[in-house]
Chain A
C-alpha cells in the first residue's frame, strides 16, 4: 500500500458511495421500480458511516442472508435479527440502529459494497420467504430493531444506549434517521430523554433530503429550522453537506460533551442521477411510466458502470 491512510479512506468511501448508487439503480432498472432517490441522497452518508465513522467488527452473519425463520414468539427459538451484519456486539464497539426502513435497499447495497453481504443476496430482495425485505424489519440484513413505523427507532436506540451507559460501555450507538421523521412527535420525545439523560454516546445521522412521500417537505409540512429546534432540545448539532465525506466525518471526531450528537446531512435527492430531476417533486418511489422514460436511466446506468470500471 503506497497511499496514505486518509487517501485510502477517501478512495474507499467514494467507491462505496458510487457502488451504492450503481447497485440500487441496477436493481431499480431490473425490477422496474424502487427507492432510488434515497440512494442518491444518502450514498455518501452510508459510505462514511460504514467505512470511517462506525467502529464495527466484521460481519458474523451469513454472506447470503438466511430465509425468514418466522416471527419472534415464545414458541419460535429460531427467530433472529440482522444485527450480525454489523459485527459482534461488544462493549467497546459501536452499534448501528437503522430507522427509515424503506431505505433498506440502500442499506443492503452498503453491506454489499463493504463486503458484509454477498452480491447475490440482493436477488432475494422483496421475494416471498426472504429476510431481504423491501421495508426492512429486525430480521433484515443490517437491521437490529423494527422501525418501519417512523420515529420508533430513535427511542429504541435511546433504550439501548441507556442500557449500555448503565453497563459502562464505551462503544457509541449510531442512529440513521431522515428529516421526515422530525414530523413525528415521538422523535422529539426521544430527544427530550436523550438530552435529559446526557446520552452523548448516541450519534444521529439525518439524511435531510427535504423529501417525503407526498413531495417536498417544504410543501407537505414545512418543519425547518430543524437545527435550531434540535439545539433548543439540547442536542449538539452539526449541519453538513451530506455529499462531502470529510464534512460528514468531522463532527464525530469531537469529544462527547454530554449532549447527543446530531449530524444534519443536507443532501440532494437526485445526486448522481440527473434524469431523476424530471420527476420532482414526487421522488419517493421510482417506477417507470413507460419504456421511453426508462431510456435515460439505462444510459445513466451505463455511464456510471463504465466510470466505476475506470
Chain B
C-alpha cells in the first residue's frame, strides 16, 4: 500500500484529463493480492485502474483506495480450441494491447511459468502463420482490463465487433473478496436467472432484468439481454461489478492481405453517398471519416503527404482478404464507387503493406492527438477548459441527419470543432476545441442537446468510450430513471456495499444502507 503523495499524483488522473482524489494506492501482482485488498477495504471504496487511457474518467478515483492493475502484466498461457479452430490467449488485466500486438507479431512470449500444454499450443501457433487479436482502439497503450471494462472498440470493430465478441473467459474478484470464473457458453442467464459458484464453493444466484438495447454500436451501461452469457454482463460494466484480473481472449488468423485506402471527396454529401454505397456493395473491415475541419487541422499540424486543397472530406476504408487478387478487386471497385460519388481514383492513397498501412493509421490517429495538443496548450491559459468529445452512434437511417445537425449547430454556435471517426458504424466523434470558457460552456450545453437528439432517434450516448463519470447524466437521459434503478439493482447483487468504482455509471455513489 502506498499513500498518495507527490509521487502518485498521476494516478489521480486519466486520459479524460479530469482529476480526483484518493487516500492510498495498491499495485497487486496476483488475484490473491486483489482479494486481500478487498477483504481489508471493508466499506472503503475502491477505484480500479488499468493503463488510465480511458476518456470518460472511469479510472479517476473519488476518495478511498486505488487498485491499480498495471503490475498484473503477464501473459500466462495459450491454448488451441480445436472445435473453433482458433487460439485462446490468457492474459492478466494489466497486459497492454501493444504488448499483445508485439508478441503475436514476433511470436515470442515470456513463457516462464507456462504449463506444458501452453508450450505445446505455442509450438502449434508458431507453425500456423500469423494470428491477431481483432479489437483495435486507437490507444494501443490501453490495458486488456480497461478494454474489457468499457467494451472497447476501434476502426476494425465495424467488421470484427467490439472487445466483448473476443472474450472467452474472465476471472473476476468480487467486492467481498470471492473469486468467480465466467466462461462463455457455460455460465448462462436462463429465464432471467443466473447461478454461479465462487472459488470457495459459495453459490451466488440472482435475477437479472432485460433492458432493450439501442440497435447501434453501444457501450452505455450494463449489457442485459435474455438468455445471455453472464460474462457479457461483466464486459462493459466499467469496474462496478467486480475486478477482472485475468481474461482469455480469442485470436484469429491474420488475413493474408490487408490493404487500406484513404479516399478524398469534394464535399460532405458526396462522402456520405460514398459511405452508403461502400457499405452496401463491398465488405470492408473499417470505414472512417475525416470532415473538412479535421483535414484542415491535419494539414496544418501533422506530417502527411500532400493532399489537394479542393478535396473537402476524406474516408478511410480498410479491407482484409485471403489473397492479393481478391483484395485488389475490392479496391478497384472502391475506386469506381468513389468516381460515381464525385471523387477521383487519382485522389486516393492506397497502402498495400504493413509499413504503408501504419502511415494511414498514423494519419487517422493524428486527428485526436492534434486536438489534445491544442487543448493542452489552451489549458495552460485557462485550466477550466477541457476537450469536449462526443461518442454517440445512431441507426444507419439517421446518419446523414446527424452529420447535418452537428455541422449546423457547430456553425450556429461559432465553435471550433473537428468531426471524425467510425462512420461505418454511424459513430462519429465531435471534438469541440474551446477557445475560451464561454466556448467550453456553450459546448457542454450543445453536447447535452445532441445527446437528447441522438436518444430520440434510437441512438446511444456512448458507443465505445463508456459512461464513466462524465456521461452519467446522459446515461440517465438514454435509459431513464427506471433503467438506472434496474441497473442499480444488478450492481447490488454483486457489490452490495457499493464500494467498487463509485461514481461510474450512476449519478451518485451507492453506499451501504441506501
Q: Are A and B interaction partners?
A: no
